[in-house]
């Protein structure tokens, strides 16, 4: 897909990072409050962290935690859609999707500024490591790599571990995405930043170089 020159060249992004408790309803309420704050500060496309309705539950293999999952559309997309319409913003939310009996996904949804569910992306790359037992919970996505033409810009959405696989970024960018969003639960304790922070930044810069694409004969970096 060719780059659409009619799309806005600039838009303001709001990135929400918040602590989460054990109550999904309280976490959703907290997220809605953060969305309001971001919108009041001029944010136009607002992205929540990965699986924001709960604490990161993949640290253990516990069948009871499947109760955290919900359908899409569902309660979260309804609440996020109302907020998107009220504040006139685009919202990216990461949810534990219950697609069908026994089929669950780690899914990012995109709510447009009119409150409509513009689309969703199901996480393709699923890690399985100590304290990251995601294959116990999530089926790999089947929607492919997608981009979305929102009210403020053409964006791509992937999720967390997808960032280590540059082909996903390349394919999403080729669909016209101006910015790629990766809701993620990865982080580090403050005392680890000094030791690992520089390496993480170098890896991020390398991924940006890999996302270079050609649009209208001009080489551009995302």
> What are the catalytic residues?
50, 123, 160
Are 159 and 202 in contact by the 8 Å Cβ rule? The answer is no
Helix axes 75-87, 24-40, angle to 10 degrees: 20
Are 77 and 117 in contact by the 8 Å Cβ rule? The answer is yes
β-pairing verdict for 128-129 and 117-122: unpaired
The H or E element spanning position 140 is none
Secondary structure of the chain: what % helix, strand, coil (to 5)? 35, 25, 40
Cα dihedral value 219, 149, 103, 51, nearest 10 = 80
């Amino acid at each position: 897909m060719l780059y659409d020159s009619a799309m806005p060249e600039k838009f303001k992004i709001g990135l929400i990072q918040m602590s989460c408790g054990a109550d999904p309803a309280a976490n959703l309420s907290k997220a809605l409050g953060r969305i309001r704050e971001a919108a009041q500060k001029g944010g136009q496309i607002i992205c929540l962290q990965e699986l924001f309705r709960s604490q990161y539950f993949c640290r253990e293999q516990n069948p009871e935690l499947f109760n955290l999952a919900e359908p899409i559309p569902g309660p979260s997309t309804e609440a996020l859609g109302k907020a998107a319409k009220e504040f006139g913003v685009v919202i990216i939310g990461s949810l534990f999707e219950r697609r069908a009996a026994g089929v669950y996904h780690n899914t990012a949804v995109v709510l447009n500024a009119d409150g409509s569910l513009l689309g969703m992306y199901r996480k393709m790359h699923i890690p399985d490591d100590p304290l990251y037992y995601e294959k116990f919970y999530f089926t790999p996505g089947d929607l492919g790599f997608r981009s979305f033409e929102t009210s403020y810009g053409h964006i791509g959405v992937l999720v967390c571990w997808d960032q280590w696989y540059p082909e996903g970024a390349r394919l999403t960018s080729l669909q016209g995405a101006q910015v790629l969003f990766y809701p993620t639960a990865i982080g580090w304790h403050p005392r680890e930043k000094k030791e690992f922070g520089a390496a993480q930044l170098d890896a991020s810069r390398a991924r940006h170089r890999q996302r270079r694409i050609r649009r209208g004969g001009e080489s551009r970096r995302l």
